[in-house]
Structure 1
Amino acid sequence: MRNKLITSLLTSLLLSLSLPMLAKAEIAPDAVSVAPLLNGETLPDVTLRDIDGNKVDLKALVSQKPSILFFYRGGWCPYCNAQMGQLKAIEPRLLEMGFQLIGISPDSPEKLKASIRDNKLDYTLLSDANLDAAQAFGLAFFTDEKTSARYLSRMPLESLVRNNQDGHKRLVLPVPAVYMLDKQGLVHFQYVNPNFKVRPAPELILTAAGLLPKN
């Protein structure tokens, strides 16, 4: 009886400590501190915008067919554009495997149209201008003061500025990531790297996709 009481008290204590931490971790203090959605977890409820500004329920979209989601920082990022080109090259094989390819970034619908035009893309790009998806997937983080100032001096990214835990205005970005999900929204594979210069090789994506269930 005493052991059960101690266990119950410890469980309550851990829950009381973890809940505030989860609430504060919606936007991580830096890229290495993100707590991304993991394999075995389920796609959160997220509404995004397509290139025409129409609302898109991500769960409804994913329920149509197995999906490969990739989060990128924006069309202004050369590493993101290189990744989009690599995914374009392997998209026919992914389609043959039964997947749809979906890119998500903080870019506005207008900027997404420019990315599709400039990179000659056929796959779907969705706007996460409010960072709802980045936060729901545990990928959003505050850039440091120097990085925030540098990016903001070069590009109109003011809509992505938020107050950090210390009350300072900082730019918020998503850590680049790739997720593979079945039609039920279950995560079977995820690649998240805080180093934005490193993206998964096309061969890795194809290999992982080939091992996933197609239902």
Structure 2
Amino acid sequence: MNLTTQLKEFAAASVKRHPGVAQDTMKQAIDSLVASEMIEKAFKTGDQLPDITLGNALGNEVRINEILKEHKVIIAFYRGNWCPYCNIQLRALQQAVPLFEAKGAKLVIIGPETPDNSLTTKQKNELTFEVVSDIDMIVARSMNLVYKLPTALQELYKKFGIDLATNQGNGNQELPIAATYVVEQDGTISYHFLEEDYKLRADPQDILNAL
């Protein structure tokens, strides 16, 4: 089963688990993002990746420009370990890592959570790619990928037990949109996936096709 199908099935099940007002609140937030046209300003194919240096979950510094000296880089933005859609995506990307590397590409995941909160211990031990912390979403913001959660969605997340303030180390109540990029060794973005709907992500096969 490909990632796109997995996400659709999980979303369908989620509607049954959280019907009514919850679904309306999440849909309204997505519709508001679409109406804002923020994606029009986001980095896209043909743009030059900024210089990115971030710390990973183990406290080590990761310099994407250094990786680019020897490999293409796949960058995916991750909302947090509380997001089931993100975790489904991570597992699918992990399965595709050997295929990515066979095409000369390294995978880096960028998330807004602090290093201590970015991954569970199990994930830290099982993922073979870098997961780095973009504190206060400085990198994501520079690429025009950040949005503030509407008040109604903030309240819904609290009911779900999602504590963004603790996870991210700030009270901004912001998240990155679903974004994935392939970056050539000269720093040029050669593929982009941008989506206001958090339930949709770049399928690994589409990423492979872009390499």
TM-score, normalising length from structure 1? 0.73
Change (3 A) 1:148 1:115: farther
- What aligned pairs does 1:152-171 form with structure 2 within 5 A after superposition? 152-153=158-159, 154-158=161-165, 159-162=169-172, 171=173
1:63 paired residue among 66, 69, 89? 69
Matched, 1:94 2:97: no
In the alignment, the residues of structure 2 paired with residue 123 and residue 90 of structure 1 have an alpha-carbon distance, to the nearest angstrom, of 11
> What's the secondary structure of 1:134's corresponding residue?
helix
In the alignment, the residues of structure 2 paired with residue 88 and residue 99 of structure 1 have an alpha-carbon distance, to the nearest angstrom, of 13
C-alpha contact (below 8 Å) 1:48/1:57 kept by paired residues: yes
1:107 paired residue among 110, 113, 129? 113
Q: CA deviation at 1:176?
A: 1.2
C-alpha contact (below 8 Å) 2:57/2:124 kept by paired residues: no
Q: Which has the larger radius of gyration?
A: 1
2:198 paired residue among 181, 196, 199? 196
- Report the equivalent of 2:78: 72
Segment of structure 1 superposing worse, 67-76 or 198-207: 198-207
Q: CA deviation at 1:114?
A: 1.6
In the alignment, the residues of structure 2 paired with residue 191 and residue 115 of structure 1 have an alpha-carbon distance, to the nearest angstrom, of 29
Q: Output the amino acid matched with 2:131.
A: L
> What's the secondary structure of 1:74's corresponding residue?
coil
Q: Output the amino acid matched with 1:85.
A: R
> What's the secondary structure of 2:136's corresponding residue?
coil
- Report the equivalent of 2:16: none
Change (3 A) 1:201 1:161: same
> What's the secondary structure of 2:120's corresponding residue?
helix
Q: CA deviation at 1:119?
A: 7.9
The superposition leaves residues 33-86 of structure 1 with CA deviations (integer Å, 9 ceiling, x where unpaired) of 322101111111333111233443333333331000000111110000000111
More helix, by proportion: 2
In angstroms, what is the RMSD of aligned CA positions? 2.0
Q: Output the amino acid matched with 1:146.
A: A
- Report the equivalent of 2:21: none
C-alpha contact (below 8 Å) 1:46/1:132 kept by paired residues: no
Q: Provide structure 2 residue ranges, at least 5 long, that are not aligned to the other structure.
A: 1-31
Q: Provide structure 1 residue ranges, at least 5 long, that are not aligned to the other structure.
A: 1-29, 163-170, 210-215
Change (3 A) 1:111 1:64: farther
TM-score, normalising length from structure 2? 0.74
In the alignment, the residues of structure 2 paired with residue 138 and residue 115 of structure 1 have an alpha-carbon distance, to the nearest angstrom, of 31
Change (3 A) 1:179 1:52: same
Change (3 A) 1:77 1:39: same
> What's the secondary structure of 1:130's corresponding residue?
helix
- Report the equivalent of 2:27: none
Q: CA deviation at 1:191?
A: 0.3
- Report the equivalent of 2:44: 38
> What's the secondary structure of 2:109's corresponding residue?
strand
Once superposed, which parts of structure 1, at least 4 consecutive aligned residues long, lie more than 6 Å away?
none
Q: CA deviation at 1:160?
A: 4.4
Q: CA deviation at 1:138?
A: 1.1
- What aligned pairs does 1:111-126 form with structure 2 within 5 A after superposition? 111-114=117-120, 117=123, 120-126=126-132
Q: CA deviation at 1:116?
A: 5.8
